[in-house]
Structure 1
Amino acid sequence: MTSRKRLNSWLLLWAGATLALALAQEWYPATVELVRRGKTIVAQQQTPESFFAAEFGDIVVGQIEAIEQGIIRLKGKEAYWTNAETRIQRQHRQARLEEFKAGEWVELVFNSDRKNDAGQSFVMRLVPLSKNAEQAVEKRTKYNYAVMSDAKRVKVTFGKDATAFGNLVLVDQGLEELILLTDGIARLTGEGDTEKLEVARKATPNSVEIQQGRSKAFGTELLYNNETGEASVSGPIKLERSGDKPLSGDSNALTYNVDDETLLLSGQVRLVQKDRTTTAQSAVVREKDGVAFLYGTPQAPVTSESKDGKVRGARLKYNLDTGDVVVLEGIQGEFQD
């Protein structure tokens, strides 16, 4: 039999925020911040109706000795117990405990205030130890997990340059610092000792939006890794850019780089502006400079076609404001008389 003693940090925060709102009739949005090379990445509520919860735990790194009846034993360390509430993940996706084998190195997050009758701490989260995480083992021993949910969308800002929106934000601050922005909902279910945090993710096309300058891109999910400084958006990607000559486009995936403030479109890139259609294998969009650099391969070169003709090349510079193109490498052309 399992003891129901636990520290409901997320419940305390949620109740405290609700009470403060009722007493002061003022609302202060919950905010979670990460810092990378002087830039602040912020996840923040947008409306008083939005949901916020947070959990806290301790991190242990070890090699699995055995997994028996939901109990995880680490070599040379303690044993920990799991249940259906334990978040078990591989490659940022839900996984099963049976997928983990003896000998595998893991990052385990536990709650020492929630023990079973054997005195073992509860496992909040279990993930494989990544190469990036190995470098951070000595740097972080505490774990923070924050959840924000709002049908009217939650906001994530990347420095002062780019902003993203989605209905559900999950922030993991373990050995790696990650932000997942997606569609879905979070809520509290049950009552009393059975009360728990429930998160339901949905992969919905165009549910995530990222804005930079006059450009907007829409995708299915955004995953930001603070170690790499990259926010990867899964497709299909839809691109829009406002101006005197509006531009639209699409691709299979998108990556926003926080450090150099560029958008990388990859996989079947297509840009359409007035009567010009340009296709490529990938494109680096420099919004501040108003240009994009498009890349192809010998088998599939960049192709840009308008009423005046068609040009091809291995690398092409595209003016986002005017639609003018310049082939920088491997030029080929077909022009109308």
Structure 2
Amino acid sequence: MRPLLLGIGLGLLLALAQEVFRPEVELLRKDKRVVAWVSGEEESLFYADYGDLHVGELRELTPAKAVVGERAFFLDAGTVLEEGLKPGDRVEAAYNPDWEREGLPYLMRLRKAGEEKGERYLRLVLFDPKGVEVRLGEEVEARGPLALVERGGREELFLSGGEARYLEEEGRLEVQPLPGRVVLTQGATRVEGVRLRYQNDTGEAFLEGPLALSREGEKPLKGKAQALRYLLDEDALWLLGDVEFVQGGRTTRAERALLREKEGYAYLFGGVESRDEKGFVRGERVRYALESGAVVVLGRVAGEFRE
């Protein structure tokens, strides 16, 4: 069973069609779409990687080997592992039986087994040095060099740094995901992190940090946080952990923040403190104007100001 190569030598396709062919993957959630695509230029790659599924008890997991039930597999940097796996867990292994090393088939992905049933696995690999583009609904876009999309019983999208290349002599794809530069934008707000994971069954995207935030405008905004959580169904973008906004001489800190780009505000929660040269104000809930940096305390106000 050889994987289907959909995007090698795209330069030839461009020459023949005299237009850009941009392969894409689409995930549907209710009435919203999540779409990922590559530029279609020569260095970009779009690849469908098929595998078989095996469910059993996880008996061993090392950086080079996994044992599930009575079967053993080898793995490498391209293997996608669900976080928190430990021996004794009931897991689902997706593997390529046609690629072996020392008699062991290649493990493509390992995760806890759910209720989904199936006999085949499909992983779509998108690589573009200029950035794979991902659209989450109508309001949010993300970009990073490498995207892995899982289709089937559970649909997920991973966007990260790293690279992928097709090894023609071996007839296989080499995937090397790494923490890297992943940029997410909503309106004028831009957030840079290291890795994004979207789960289609919940509609939740999580961008790992540390994060750097920026927003252009009359008073440019700079900020940071530990992580970002985007809820597709609610169009709600949350910044989580050690949130800080710096704008026009004012520094504002909070535990978390809800960005409402269309409204032009962020709502800050948890030990909020905002300081400038005139003093400070504190509260548990604060409304923050994204264009000006002005704050309005909505709950438990305290402050100190100087003339």
TM-score category of the 2 structures, normalised to the smaller one? 0.7 to 0.9
TM-superposed CA distance for 1:22, in Å, is 4.9
Alpha-carbon distance change, 278 to 100 in structure 1, aligned in 2, over 3 angstroms: closer
The one-letter amino acid of 2:124's match is A
User: Corresponding residue for 1:105?
Assistant: 90
Structure in which a larger fraction of residues adopt helix: 1
The one-letter amino acid of 2:89's match is E
TM-superposed CA distance for 1:110, in Å, is 4.2
User: Corresponding residue for 1:305?
Assistant: 275
For 1:53 and 1:37, locate their aligned partners in 2 and report how far apart those are by CA, in whole Å: 26
TM-superposed CA distance for 1:62, in Å, is 3.3
For 2:8 and 2:217, locate their aligned partners in 1 and report how far apart those are by CA, in whole Å: 46
For 1:216 and 1:333, locate their aligned partners in 2 and report how far apart those are by CA, in whole Å: 31
TM-score using structure 2 length: 0.86
Alpha-carbon distance change, 57 to 334 in structure 1, aligned in 2, over 3 angstroms: same
- Which of 222, 225, 246 aligns to 1:248? It is 222
TM-superposed CA distance for 1:109, in Å, is 2.2
Alpha-carbon distance change, 92 to 26 in structure 1, aligned in 2, over 3 angstroms: farther
- Which of 63, 73, 86 aligns to 1:82? It is 73
Q: Which runs of 4+ in 1 moved over 6 A?
A: none
User: Corresponding residue for 1:295?
Assistant: 269
TM-superposed CA distance for 1:146, in Å, is 1.0
User: Corresponding residue for 1:128?
Assistant: 111
User: Corresponding residue for 1:208?
Assistant: 182
Alpha-carbon distance change, 115 to 152 in structure 1, aligned in 2, over 3 angstroms: closer
Deviations 1:209-258 (A, max 9, x none): 10101111111111111122221111111111122222111111111221
The 3-state SS of whatever aligns with 2:262 is helix
For 1:275 and 1:71, locate their aligned partners in 2 and report how far apart those are by CA, in whole Å: 53
Asked if 1:152 is matched to 2:137, the reply is: no
User: Corresponding residue for 2:160?
Assistant: 182
For 2:253 and 2:99, locate their aligned partners in 1 and report how far apart those are by CA, in whole Å: 58
Q: Is the 8 A contact 1:182 1:220 kept in 2?
A: yes
- Which of 198, 202, 220 aligns to 1:224? It is 198
For 2:99 and 2:262, locate their aligned partners in 1 and report how far apart those are by CA, in whole Å: 53
For 1:215 and 1:309, locate their aligned partners in 2 and report how far apart those are by CA, in whole Å: 27
The one-letter amino acid of 1:10's match is L
The one-letter amino acid of 1:242's match is E
Superposed counterparts of 1:267-286, under 5 Å: 267-286=241-260
For 2:208 and 2:301, locate their aligned partners in 1 and report how far apart those are by CA, in whole Å: 32
For 1:280 and 1:100, locate their aligned partners in 2 and report how far apart those are by CA, in whole Å: 35
Q: Is the 8 A contact 1:164 1:210 kept in 2?
A: yes
Query: What RMSD over aligned residues (CA atoms) do the two structures have, in Å?
Result: 3.0
User: Corresponding residue for 1:163?
Assistant: 141
Q: Please, which runs of 5 or more residues in structure 1 have no aligned partner?
A: 1-6, 94-98
Q: Is the 8 A contact 1:292 1:318 kept in 2?
A: yes
Alpha-carbon distance change, 85 to 10 in structure 1, aligned in 2, over 3 angstroms: farther
The one-letter amino acid of 2:50's match is F
Structure in which a larger fraction of residues adopt strand: 2
User: Corresponding residue for 2:38?
Assistant: 45
Asked if 1:196 is matched to 2:168, the reply is: no
Q: Larger radius of gyration, structure 1 or 2?
A: 1
User: Corresponding residue for 1:315?
Assistant: 285
Instruction: Work out the number of aligned pairs and report it.
Output: 302
Asked if 1:57 is matched to 2:48, the reply is: no
Q: Is the 8 A contact 2:21 2:40 kept in 1?
A: no
Alpha-carbon distance change, 274 to 46 in structure 1, aligned in 2, over 3 angstroms: same
User: Corresponding residue for 1:34?
Assistant: 27
**Aligned-pair identity (%):** 37
Q: Is the 8 A contact 1:80 1:122 kept in 2?
A: no
